[in-house]
Structure 1
Amino acid sequence: MPHAFICGVAGETLSSAEAAFLKSASPAGLILFARNCIGHEQIQRLVGDVREAAGAGDDFLVLIDQEGGRVQRLRPPLGRTLPPARAYADLYAEDAGAAQEAAFLTARLLADDLKALGINTNCAPVLDVPVPEAHDIIGDRAYGRDPQQAATLGRAVAEGLMAGGVLPVIKHIPGHGRATEDSHLGLPVVSAPQDLLEATDFAPFTALSDMPAAMTAHVVFAALDAVEPASTSRRVTQDIIRGDIGFDGLLMSDDLGMKALSGSFGARTRAVLAAGSDLALHCSGTLSEMEEVASEAPRLTGAALRRFRTALAILRRSEPYDRAKAEAQLARVLGTGGRHAESV
């Protein structure tokens, strides 16, 4: 059985030291970044080498952040230009049905692109609901400021990915939209009362609680736990994410390397797993940090293993679709002006 963590690698090829680590540590998955991707054949080779070293076979997640807009690790010529979530929100204001169809078909098209490279998991859609005073780390990555709209468009994206055999990871549960600080750089604290959080921030996640995978938020919700961020708070994870929201899918932390967290990487790993995440996510590809993470990550068993296997079942799907129509819908949404440089 794999161990309860996902890791990155440093570069475009797998080093002998990384291969030895993967063989001994048996992670549940790999996450790719732009630093790992320079060509289609190179990506396929890297993914294959990692799979072989980890001895994982088909039971292995290969993740990427391919949201569109600012967050798109594969850019032309490696991957097609994708609009930010806000472009779908703009179309939704004109024609809700057309926006949902465009979101679904673009995601279905993207699933084909990713699977061709050996990538089977996309860290999307973002279900966070930003508010005017929030930090712009979410901004145009969101499908709107209305929770119902965010849920509707987010579901369309998730279902499009799943129809193509790609696992969607909804994020950042239970919500990052109200944060006034970028959790890559510091620890955001949200002071809103619980009833407001339930009606806004948590609502899209509740609506999509049937999804197979989710990523936690490194955000303190003071009304629930004044000290620990959601990702390391047992109360938030158990009472809110697993409880009130009702999410019973595969739960992974956001990146352990983000500055919202403190302590050693071993301590961070223990904290997210003890809180109730099934997997700890480590992204930098720094081998010494990965070794710390691996030392604290047990083998997947029990409910965590069940959720992992349920998520893997998504990868076997392949539903037919009108590819030409999907290409046309993507072009329409891109025509709204939704092109942005990557910033996170």
Structure 2
Amino acid sequence: MNLSFDLARGPASFGHRFLIGLQQGPVLGDKDKRLLSSLKPAGVVLFRANFLADAPYEEWLGSHAKLLSDVRECIEREEVIVSIDHEGGGVLRPPAPITPFAYAREWPGQAGDVGKAMGVELRSLGFNVNFAPVVDVNSNPANPVIGQRSFGTTPQDVVPAARAFLDGLQAEGVLGCPKHFPGHGDTAVDSHYSLPVIDVDPAMFRQRELEAFRHFNDARMIMTAHIVISQIDPGVPATMSKVILQDILRQELGYGGVVVSDDLGMKAISDRLDRPETTVQIVNAGCDLLCMCAYWADTEVILRMIDFMSAGLKAGTIEEHTLEQSFARVSALLSGLPNHEVEALDDDCFERHASLAPLRSRSLPANHGGATKI
């Protein structure tokens, strides 16, 4: 597969730098059809609202298969990222009978089995990427966004379970994506609503946050966090920080895979997107895939960001070698993606999976936190 940033191709010349979170609803709407057809993005992200949730399994599965078929028809490329954010607990997307595992904190000892089970189920739904595991070390008890999504409060808790989960998931043909680099566990602010600033000593940052992520430098994808580490790169969110993504992730940790942003529509960063310099900083920082989901923002902001990329390349404010490296990494990722057909699983499979680890409490609403969290 040969992808290039030929400016003569218009929006599609930069389109595959993006992952698009679909509009709410189980049917591909006209707005998404226009964006997918014109941009030819790397792929799509699905949320709970994209499933026909109240219908019987066979009915919603058929609707889901039609949605994915329509996505591929618009993108007109065999290799497409079909992704989901499916962790357990409140961050669960597909409806029953997909197994509703509890939050990660409740099954660290069964993480490998849960990862494998999630891989089987997500593969049956045509997904080839899952934005999990959470590798954040939840060191701050007041953290409003990570909490039980993390496997624990120290790297020694988190790393073995997250690695087992990732290996189990990927053994079934679904790529995992450790998140949220450089570590969202010490925040007291939810980046879905505001920009967290962490004032942590650089030595502690390396001992705690980086110690967890350094064990995942072989992952095909890693997701950024929209957080500021004030003693590392003051005032600059990690998604936009060359210090954090290039100097630390690429050089210090030796990571060579694809860096994907957390949802750029989140309030921590979305108010910056109309400024051309934001797009320039994100690209120059080495963020390869830019995730923009419809829940928080108008996904058509992507069109303005592409204009900013094109203008930045022509003006020389975007570093061409960084752009070339990102295109090469995205191209390699797409070329190696598995494609899965949508197919039904039998009742015995779901029964086996339900016996592997604790399930979500019946008192927890099915969409608790699940509509928004990435």
The TM-score, its normalising length taken from structure 1, stands at 0.86
Kindly state the Cα deviation for residue 288 of structure 1 after the two structures are TM-superposed: 2.9
SS at match of 2:261: strand
* Structure 2: unaligned runs, 5 residues or longer: 4-14, 53-59, 314-321, 341-346
Could you tell me which residue of structure 2 aligns to residue 281 of structure 1?
A: 291
1:54/1:206 CA distance change after superposition, 3 Å: same
Aligned-partner Cα distance in 1 for 2:122–2:179? 19
Aligned-partner Cα distance in 2 for 1:260–1:113? 32
Aligned residue type for 1:315: P
Could you tell me which residue of structure 1 aligns to residue 147 of structure 2?
A: 139
Kindly state the Cα deviation for residue 34 of structure 1 after the two structures are TM-superposed: 1.2
1:228/1:138 CA distance change after superposition, 3 Å: same
* Structure 1: unaligned runs, 5 residues or longer: 90-98, 318-322
Aligned-partner Cα distance in 2 for 1:136–1:143? 15
Identity of aligned residues (%): 31
Could you tell me which residue of structure 1 aligns to residue 39 of structure 2?
A: 25
The TM-score, its normalising length taken from structure 2, stands at 0.80
Could you tell me which residue of structure 1 aligns to residue 355 of structure 2?
A: 331
Aligned residue type for 2:333: A
Q: Does 1:158 align with 2:166?
A: yes
Kindly state the Cα deviation for residue 266 of structure 1 after the two structures are TM-superposed: 6.6
Deviation string for 1:271-329 (max 9, x for gaps)? 32221110110011634334334444679974324433443425379xxxxx9799646
Q: Does 1:230 align with 2:253?
A: no
What are the residue-to-residue correspondences of 1:1-344 with 2, within 5 Å? 1=3, 3-10=16-23, 11-38=25-52, 39-57=60-78, 59-77=79-97, 79-89=98-108, 99=109, 102-261=110-269, 262-265=271-274, 267=276, 268-284=278-294, 286-296=298-308, 302-312=324-334, 313=336, 315=338, 328=352, 330-334=354-358, 340-341=364-365, 342-343=368-369, 344=373
Could you tell me which residue of structure 1 aligns to residue 7 of structure 2?
A: none
Kindly state the Cα deviation for residue 201 of structure 1 after the two structures are TM-superposed: 1.1
Asked if the contact 1:256–1:265 (Cα under 8 Å) also holds between the matched residues in 2, the reply is no
Asked if the contact 1:84–1:140 (Cα under 8 Å) also holds between the matched residues in 2, the reply is yes
1:329/1:14 CA distance change after superposition, 3 Å: closer
Aligned-partner Cα distance in 2 for 1:52–1:301? 28
Aligned-partner Cα distance in 2 for 1:47–1:167? 18
CA RMSD of aligned residues (A): 2.7
Could you tell me which residue of structure 2 aligns to residue 92 of structure 1?
A: none
Aligned-partner Cα distance in 2 for 1:142–1:37? 26
1:103/1:133 CA distance change after superposition, 3 Å: closer
Asked if the contact 1:218–1:231 (Cα under 8 Å) also holds between the matched residues in 2, the reply is yes
How many residues are matched? 326
Query: Normalized per residue, which structure has more strand?
Result: 1
Aligned-partner Cα distance in 2 for 1:266–1:27? 22
